[in-house]
Amino acid sequence: MIDRSARNDLAGLIRRYLGEQIKAFDFDEALDPFRDSEDSAIEYVANAMWYHYDDCDDHLIVASKQQWDYLQRLLLLLESNSTVSHEHRREWSVTQWCAAFLLAACIGIAVRFGVGSHLFIFFVPFGLASIALSHFRRANVERGPYDEIVTPFVTMGDLRVAYDSAGHFKKSQFPRHIDARLVRSPAVAAFWTCHMYVMWAILAPAPLLVQCAPVRLDYSVVTPG
C-alpha cells in the first residue's frame, strides 16, 4: 500500500533535518512513528535514516556529498509511487563453528581458573579472534557499476521511472558549508573506537555467543513506480 499523506510527512521531516531546522535528537524522536508503517517505502526510509545521524550526540546534519545525494534519492523514493519488498534469510558458515570452539575454550578456562576479573586477561586472545571473525561474517554483496549513483534503486532506468512518477521532484544541491562538519573530533572518535575494541577483547564470550548464531541477511528491493 502507498500512504501518500505519511510519505509527504516523512519527506517534510527529512527536509527539515537536511535544512538544519532540527537536530539529531529531535529528528530521531520524530522518526519513531514512521518506523513501523504499513507502507514498506516509509518503513525502509525511516530505518535507513538511522545510519545518517548519531543518537549519542545531538548535532545538525552531517553528511558527505555522496551521502547527501543518497538522501535525495530516498526523498525521491518517497515522492514517487515506488514500493519496497524485503527478503530475509539466514546463512551458516564455518565462522559459527569457529565461534563455538572459541566460546567453549573460554568456558573451559573459566572452569579451570574460576570466575573473576583475572579472566579478562585470558579472554583477550579470544576477543581478538572474535574481531577477526566479524570481518569474515560480513555479507559479500556484489556491487554494480552504478550503485553509488542509483542506490536505493537498482538501475538508471529505475531512477528515471521514479523521476517520471514523482513529477516535479527537484534534487537539493549539496550545501558546501557542511562538508567539513563532524559529529565529534577525530581524537574523540578514535578514543571510542579503541574503547569498543578493548571491551570486545576482554568480554570475548559475549560477542562469541552472538557469533555462534547464523548470519542474518536482509535484502530490500525497490520497485520503481
Where do the structural domains in the chain lie, given as residue ranges? 4-89+147-181+217-223
Please tell me the predicted confidence (pLDDT) of residue 26: 96
Q: Do residues 225 and 82 make contact, with C-beta atoms less than 8 angstroms apart? A: yes
Please tell me the predicted confidence (pLDDT) of residue 139: 61
Please tell me the predicted confidence (pLDDT) of residue 217: 82
* Helix 40-48 with 65-79: angle, nearest 10 deg: 160
SS3 131: helix
Q: For the chain, which residues score pLDDT lower than 50?
A: none
* CA atoms of 187 and 20, how far apart (whole Å): 25
Q: Which three cell numbers stand for residue 140?
A: 559479500
CB neighbour list of residue 95: distance below 8 Å, 6 or more residues apart = 133, 136, 137, 211, 215
The DSSP-derived string for 91-115 is E--HHHHHHHHHHHHHHHHHHHH-S
The C-alpha angle with vertex 171 and arms to 219 and 62, in degrees rounded to 5, equals 70
Q: What are phi and psi of 90, to 5 degrees?
A: -115, 140
Predicted TM-score (pTM) of the model is 0.85
Please tell me the predicted confidence (pLDDT) of residue 8: 94
Please tell me the predicted confidence (pLDDT) of residue 137: 80
Please tell me the predicted confidence (pLDDT) of residue 142: 65
Q: Which three cell numbers stand for residue 153?
A: 534503486
Please tell me the predicted confidence (pLDDT) of residue 6: 95
SS3 20: coil
The DSSP-derived string for 27-95 is HHHHHGGGTT-SSHHHHHHHHHGGGGS-SSS--S----HHHHHHHHHHHHHHHSS-EEEEEEEEE--HH
DSSP strand pairing (83-91 vs 215-223): antiparallel
